Structure 1
Amino acid sequence: MSVAVDRDVRDLGEFRFDCGESVPSLAVAYEAYGEFDGDNAILVCHALTGSQNVATHRSGRGAADDADTIDAPHDPAGQAGAWWNDIVGPGKAVDTTEYYVVCANVPGSCYGTSGPASEAPDGEPWGTDFPPVTVGDWTRAQRRLLDDLGVGRLHAVVGGSVGGMNALDWAQRYPDDVRRVVPVAAAARLDPQCLGIDAVARRAITSDPNWNGGDYYGDEQDRPDQGLGLARQLGHVMYLSKASMADKFGRRSAVRGGSAGGELFPADPGAAFFPYRDVESYLDYQAESFVDRFDANSYLYLTRAMDDYDLAEGYESDAAALGAFEGEALLLSFTGDWHFTTEQSEALAEAFRESEVPVAHHVVDSDHGHDAFLVEPERVGPPLRDFLSEGVEGKAVSDTAEDDEDVGGSEYAPVHNSLFSG
């Protein structure tokens, strides 16, 4: 089954960021799937290093189906290409034969939307002269893009990880413009542990001699690849759970060879004597593949945006921030995720309840950590599909807690009913 695909970059003209600085021209790269009927638009918000390529496509405009090739390899944690292909597409949970699905690369990124690596008015890359960006800037840029595409009110906004924060920002910033929001593996703000890990990741980049204050675009051989690779390795550790790492790697030794860990991370003293473990090999491979496709300055900008986000900023509480939203919400969280925990999602669900917003919190029992929202489509798809179609009354959304007053009946649908009722 084929669907129409619009893959393009729109110039939205002058754009003023939350920091007060402006760019004369903001380019936003996007992909749109399906046909718009005036009432069926869904915005999908990508995670930290994701792209607008949420599903498979052919290069340029045309038809897309399950046999299409993609321009970038599928990297579940990195989300380079077709990062939610098991969720978005014909007949899938976000059905592109029924909905008009738009995904836009956010400002500050490096997949076609304006960011540090983009050309500034002087013809050179912006580097760190590009204005600091916020999640609110992402939302306002998406609103401008949708206006340009002729899309008014959205049927839903769906996002995972920091994309879930982006979805929350839609409910707060444009409460009349969206009927349903779905923050997946997300929270109202980062906790101090994650803030600290992000700070170390940024310092890995800025302490790389090749970072050069963000001015490294002249020679690919002089990029801060080692710092960016270390930052990405920290991210991967954060995305996995103890159980998933134990199952995937254990303490097994790996065979040295190939490029993994070779050029980017030379052998340390004693490396010839001590084992090179599977987990090291995995992290080295992920680092080397990541530096080939992502910009170090963009990583600095996007992690800062994620760290800065706080739903309650300017309000007395999260509930007050959501007070004007009159739609419905579905929260999806995963028991093995310590980046954005089930407890954080439940606190967010309670804020929706306090605002009298119909909400379901669906907890998935998973050992996959934060990556679960990407690698377990069979657990994410059913409640998402039913919520998009039926709201919180959807069977897969609400039937696991239908008689449990302690957890709010259909307002809260955990796999483990006792998880928050004690």
Structure 2
Amino acid sequence: MCDTSSAAPHLPPEGEQRVVSIGDLATEAGVTIRDASIAFRRWGAFRGDPHGKNNILLVEHALTGDSDATNWWCEAVGPGKALDTDEWCVICTNALGSCYGSTGPASEHPDGGVWGSRFPAISMRDMVNAEHAFLQELGISRVHAVIGGSMGGARTLEWTLLHPEEVDYALVLAVSARASAWQIGMQTAQITSITQDPAWQGGNYHGTGDTPDAGLAAARRIAHLTYRGEMEIDERFGTSAQPGENPLGPFREDGERFAVQSYLEHQGVKLTKRFDASCYVALTEALNRHDVGRGRGGLNKALASSTVPTMIVGIDTDILYPYHQQEHLSRNLGNLLAMAKLSSPVGHDAFLVEARQMDRILRNFIALTRDTPSAHDVAVSRGSYDI
């Protein structure tokens, strides 16, 4: 790979978050988000051509993640690790609609105050188009690979279909081609938990001194049960009582809990301390709208049209995105690079938890990208591009 450092994009110091303005963004549903911005971090030196072959790995976070991939994927990103920052330039953005630096419902509105209920409903395609605009602002029009799990996997899939000429390879973990009715049902229950909290105030609670923490905590309790495996939860807690409490008394009382109740309440409270409820609603609604077949002739036709060599990874105990959904992707993708199964009692979160298995999967993916021609390379060999 040649080093064209003179053409390298201007990147911040390693690990330092920067916010890039992308201007006005039109959503898929026809609303304009004015003066939008995307936050990002990077690790590793850029090498190559920002408009051709280079060493950029674009990493996509899950629902409540942020741009600090070395935190939430600490065993995968870094020097000598599977996503080796001595070799690769790893870039991770914060998704549009989130609350960690990118424009979302909790951000300041150009006309004053907070976006709140003025922030429109968004889709995975809107998030990807925002990220695409962000890369253009950096002067980058091609990346070596896009990698993402869960919501990040949905964004990765959309990258391969919206901008295939700008992605050489893709790794999609623990997600489906579209939201299932079951997923929409579970996710809608989470949204309703928040919007029915009296403190929600129609989504305009910012600055009022009252936030829908109870609703957000309830949403997280529901969600967490879909993130973890049934076997793992049962093995950890079973029917044990929370120490010092008695859930088997003559009357049900809120303060007399099973151990699993205490655990889930703890997870809910943790999220209220670091995440905004309106952003949780916006991103969860975007997951409800996930459907790569929409406007593309249906799921299988859309998947068959994919030209980007794509590796699919599923988890055998995933309740939220069951393994059969990744099998469906692998059977129908137009350019399947590989298929892998992650075995774990943990469930959906296994791609964040099972470090040893993920290390092997990620290293295999990187190796495959070295040995497999990209769609761009194939097109050049066939004379589809001037060289």
Q: TM-score range by the shorter chain?
A: 0.7 to 0.9
Alignment of 1:282 with 2:268, yes or no, is: no
- Partner deviation per Cα, 1:118-138 (whole Å, 9 max, x = no partner): 111222011011121110011
Q: Structure 1: give runs of 5+ residues left out of the alignment.
A: 56-81, 258-267, 395-422
Instruction: Give, in whole Å, the separation in 1 of the partners of 2:259 and 2:132.
Output: 44
Question: CA, structure 1 residues 256+96, in 2 after alignment: closer, same or farther (shift >3 Å)?
Answer: farther
Contact 2:46 2:88 in 1 (8 A): yes
The one-character-per-residue Cα deviations of 1:339-388 (angstroms, maximum 9, x if unpaired) are: 11111001000111xxx413311012211110111110211111211212
Equivalent residue letter for 2:146 = V
Give the equivalent residue in structure 1 for 2:124: 135
1:187-266 equivalences in 2 (<5 Å): 187-220=176-209, 222-255=210-243
Matches within 5 A, 1:127-206: 127-206=116-195
Contact 1:180 1:388 (C-alpha < 8 Å) held by counterparts: no
Task: Give the aligned partner of residue 385 of structure 2.
Answer: none
CA contact (8 A) 2:15 2:68 kept: no
Structure 2 match to 1:26: 36
Change (3 A) 1:149 1:389: farther
1:54 to 69, 80, 83: 69
Deviation for aligned residue 1:87: 0.9
Unaligned runs of 5+ in 2: 1-12, 49-53, 373-387
Greater mean deviation of Cα atoms: 336-345 or 310-319:
310-319
**Residue number in structure 1 paired with 2:60:** 45
User: 2:124 matched to 1:117?
Assistant: no
SS of equivalent residue, structure 2 residue 122: coil
Question: Does the C-alpha gap of structure 1 residues 218 and 40 become closer, same or farther in structure 2, counting only changes over 3 Å?
Answer: same
8 Å CA contact 1:358, 1:392 repeated in 2 = no
Query: Which residue of structure 2 lines up, in the alignment, with residue 77 of structure 1?
Result: none
Q: Which amino acid aligns with 1:4?
A: E
Q: Which amino acid aligns with 1:226?
A: A
Look up the match of 1:291. Answer: 272
User: What letter corresponds to residue 238 of structure 2 in structure 1?
Assistant: G
Residue 179 of structure 1 aligns to a residue whose secondary structure is strand
Give matches, 1:398-417, under 5 Å. none
Matches within 5 A, 1:61-80: none
Number of residues of Structure 1 aligned to a counterpart in Structure 2: 352
> How far is the alpha carbon of 1:319 from its aligned partner?
3.9
Aligned counterparts of 1:11 and 1:274: Cα–Cα separation in 2:
48
| SS of residue matched to 1:19 | coil
Distance 1:315 1:210, change over 3 A: same
> SS state of the match for residue 35, structure 2?
coil
- Asked if 1:301 corresponds to 2:282, the answer is yes
RMSD of aligned alpha carbons: 2.1
The aligned counterpart of 2:383 is none
TM-score by length of 2: 0.86
Corresponding residue to 1:334 among 311, 315, 336: 315
Helix, strand or coil for the counterpart of 2:335? coil
Deviations 1:138-179 (A, max 9, x none): 101111111222222111100010110100001110111111
Question: Is 1:386 equivalent to 2:364 in the alignment?
Answer: yes
Partner of 2:344: 366
Distance 1:154 1:273, change over 3 A: closer
Please state whether the residue corresponding to 1:163 is helix, strand or coil: helix
> 1:324 Cα shift?
4.7
> Is this contact kept in 2: 1:135–1:166, CA < 8 A?
yes
2:21 corresponds to: 11
1:344 and 2:344 matched: no
How many angstroms does 1:24 deviate by? Answer: 2.4
2-side partners of 1:26 and 1:138: how far apart? Answer: 11
State the alpha-carbon separation in 1 of the partners of residues 44 and 29 from structure 2.
35
Give the Cα–Cα distance (whole angstroms) in 2 for the partners of residues 379 and 320 of structure 1: 32
